[in-house]
Amino acid sequence: MTDLTAADRRQQLVDMYHEVGACRTCPLGSMRTNAVFGMGNSNADLMFVGEAPGAEEDRQGLPFVGRAGKLLDELLGEIGMTRAEHAFIANTLKCRPPGNRDPQPEEIESCRPYLERQIQLIEPRVICTLDFARIPGLLEQEVTPAEPPPLTAPGPVSAPAEPPQLELLG
């Protein structure tokens, strides 16, 4: 937990948004159309983390805006939530890998500080990892659906989930 006010945390996220937009730490920064920082409530208890932006995300500069994003919005709606009000959505990588290939380890490590800082500033209680977004050692505690978290968990709990794309495949 940080000692920053909500307004200070939000301002730091805005500053980081601009930093990510200018990032050229790895070659992906020079190949993208737009950096995909994240979107949603900066005070959310729930954070979704995907693997990397797809083609539509790269075009718009927003995470989960394609068919899988629409399905995620529907699923959130079924439980009375919206991404704007109740969640923050980000990706492990902030730039789209060419041909939608899997992220390379050096790309993950280049973007890791951004994701770590987003988690620190947003302070979610639950992080739901989508796709193959798990980054070993990023979170103190990971759980599976068969293993609910203890009520006294000190930091955010990571709950891996199948990505919405799998539902679209039938």
Interval 110-135: pLDDT, tens: 999 999 999 999 999 998 888 665 56
Residue 133 domain-assigned (yes or no) = yes
Residue 155 domain-assigned (yes or no) = yes
CA neighbours closer than 13 Å in the CB half-sphere of residue 125? 8
The predicted structure's pLDDT at residue 158:
53
Residue 71's CATH number: 3.40.470.10
Domain hosting 151: range is 6-168
Residue 1 domain-assigned (yes or no) = no
Whole-number average pLDDT of the chain: 83
Residue 32 domain-assigned (yes or no) = yes
The predicted structure's pLDDT at residue 156:
59
Contacts 24+ apart (CB under 8 A), 75-84: 75/164, 81/46, 83/39, 83/40, 84/39, 84/40, 84/41
| Per-residue pLDDT at 150 exceeds 80 | no
Residue of 169, 168, 166, 148 whose CA lies nearest to 157 = 148
Torsion of CA 100, 101, 106, 109, to 10 degrees: 50
Cα angle, residue 120 at apex, residues 115 and 73 outer, rounded to 5°: 60
Residues β-bridged to residue 127:
47, 158
The predicted structure's pLDDT at residue 157:
54
For residue 3, what pLDDT band results from cuts at 50, 70 and 90?
A: confident
Structural domain count of the chain: 1
Residue 38 domain-assigned (yes or no) = yes
Residue 164 domain-assigned (yes or no) = yes
